[in-house]
Amino acid sequence: MRLNKKIIIIFASIAFFSLFLAMALSNIFLKSQFEKYVIKKQDKKSLNLIYSLSKCYSLEHGWDKVELKDIGIAALEDGMIIKITDREGKVIWDAKSEDGLKCQRVIKNISDNMEKVNINWTVKEKGKYKYKDYNLEKDKVLLGKVTVGNYSPYYYRDEDILFLNELNKLFLIALAIALLISIIVGTFLSKGLTKPLLEITEITHDISKGNYNKKIKTNTNTYEIKLLAESVNNLGDDLERQKYIRKKLTKDISHELRTPITTVLTYMEALKDGVWEPSQEKINICYEELRRLDKLVGDVEKITKCETTAIEFKKETCSLKEIYNELHSLLKKELKLKDISLNFKGKDVNLLIDKNSIVKAFSCILLNSVQYSPKESNISIEATEKNNKKYIYFIDKGKGISEEDLPYVFERFYKSDKSRNRSSEGFGIGLTIAKYIVNAHNGEIKINSKLGEGTTVTVIL
């Protein structure tokens, strides 16, 4: 089942049952209140009946039987069967004697009406036809009594049943309208949710086919969908970047392999064919090219080891100053060749690290700085501490990195030097190794650079 249909069904079901429950409770409450109203109305009718009957007597003429009959018939129409007797108990007027069949029809009609409303109406003494005696008095003089028969504690007349039926119809109409509205609202909401999801699905399908440039441009106020769209767009960007890096890596590796192989092969063919005489110089050239190949293979092995082997650390507390001194000794030769000064600035901080691996990471960063810094320049190491985190900055005034190359500097074998100039030492794995080591310490490494102004590498531990 499609998501939009599920949303509509769920939304409509929740709305229906919620409204049904609310209306059922309202119906029960209204019926309860209506019952109370009917009981009060019935009691009031009985009192009005007694008052009206009392007025039918006069001291001069006695009982007005015509008026008594009219009142009795009206009471019968209202569901009350009455019998009037004088002080001696003599019957003056009796509805059953007047019209017994009509009395039976009235009783049956009320019974049928009540059973339509409540099938359990006759349970536990409710719904039984009962008789109650009332004294008839005038000016505090006892005239007789009236026996009033009706259903107790209450009963519904035809107009009452009509009112209740209309009320139920209104509830059903309101429920139907509410259900229709919930379906319309559910449809609208489902479209708002499923439309961007369908677009995201289409884009991910394109990405799976290698079309990484496709972007999700849907506008939605739903935070989770917006986050999903951004994640898919970022995934496409990352895959496009990886695609670019793979192409560049293939090109660069083939270049790095072809050059020394071509050089060695040319020299060997010339020596084999007798074009050149063997000499120490030519042997040294071949040796350097083979050494370069060996270094390339070694670097590939290093990266493979970093990616496939879990790094085990023996952590200890070391000061950054201590690490700086070791780095200075380790890179003494490289610094001297370009007459570059390596300085430590700022406060000293203590680091809980695997010393050997961090020295390796920091040396990779500094070798990059030395390689791309001009002669007689300065490289500085600075440190600060914020929120229990140590920030170590490696700052140089070298040629910098372009914005185009900056996102790729931590990728293996990536070099911003597009010419792959062989005077540029290394194969572009230094920063990659540094990142692996820093990340393995649950740290972060960032780089900021401007072309022609220099580079700052920030390590956060």
Helices 65-77 and 3-54, interaxial angle, to 10°?
Answer: 170
Output the CA–CA distances (angstroms, integers) from residue 152 to 45, 70, 125, 144, 432, in the order listed. Answer: 14, 24, 9, 24, 93
Q: Cα(84)–Cα(63) distance, rounded to whole angstroms?
A: 10
Q: Cα(413)–Cα(432) distance, rounded to whole angstroms?
A: 8
The domain ranges of the chain are 3-171, 210-309, 311-460
Helix (H, G, I), strand (E, B) or coil at 152: strand
Contact 46, 225 (CB under 8 A): no
Can you list the alpha helix ranges (DSSP code H) found in 273-382?
Answer: 280-308, 320-330, 332-337, 355-372
Say which residues have a Cβ less than 8 Å from residue 107's Cβ, sequence separation at least 6. Answer: 81, 129
C-alpha closest to that of 345 among 376, 324, 317: 324
Q: What are phi and psi of 209, to 5 degrees?
A: -90, 0
**What is the torsional sign of CA 356, 389, 397, 344?**
negative
Q: Cα(353)–Cα(357) distance, rounded to whole angstroms?
A: 8
Annotate 3-25 with b (16+ C-beta within 10 A) or e (fewer).
ebeebbeebbeebbeebeeebee
Strand pairing of 389-396 and 444-450? unpaired
Q: Cα(131)–Cα(380) distance, rounded to whole angstroms?
A: 111
For residue 379 the two structure tokens come to 């490289």
For residue 112 the two structure tokens come to 């049928």
Three-state secondary structure readout of 299-310: HHHHHHHHHHCC
Residue type, 88: E
Q: How confident is the model over 211-232, as pLDDT tens digits?
A: 877 788 777 777 777 888 888 8
The second-level CATH assignment, the architecture, of 210-309 is: Orthogonal Bundle (1.10)
Quote the pLDDT of residue 424. 47
For residue 209 the two structure tokens come to 């086919």
Q: Cα(354)–Cα(157) distance, rounded to whole angstroms?
A: 94
Quote the pLDDT of residue 415. 63
Quote the pLDDT of residue 459. 93
- Global pTM reads 0.49
Quote the pLDDT of residue 117. 65
Edge-to-edge strand order for the sheet containing 91-94? 91-94, 81-86, 141-152, 128-138
The CATH code of the domain at 311-460 is: 3.30.565.10
C-alpha closest to that of 405 among 424, 418, 395, 396: 418
C-alpha closest to that of 424 among 432, 415, 433: 415
C-alpha closest to that of 337 among 378, 376, 363: 376
Give the containing element (helix H, strand E) for 444. strand 444-450
Q: Cα(178)–Cα(263) distance, rounded to whole angstroms?
A: 84
Output the CA–CA distances (angstroms, integers) from residue 282 to 200, 268, 275, 277, in the order listed. Answer: 61, 9, 13, 9
Give me the CATH topology for the region 3-171.
Beta-Lactamase (3.30.450)
Low-confidence ranges of the chain (pLDDT < 50): 119, 121-125, 419-420, 422-424
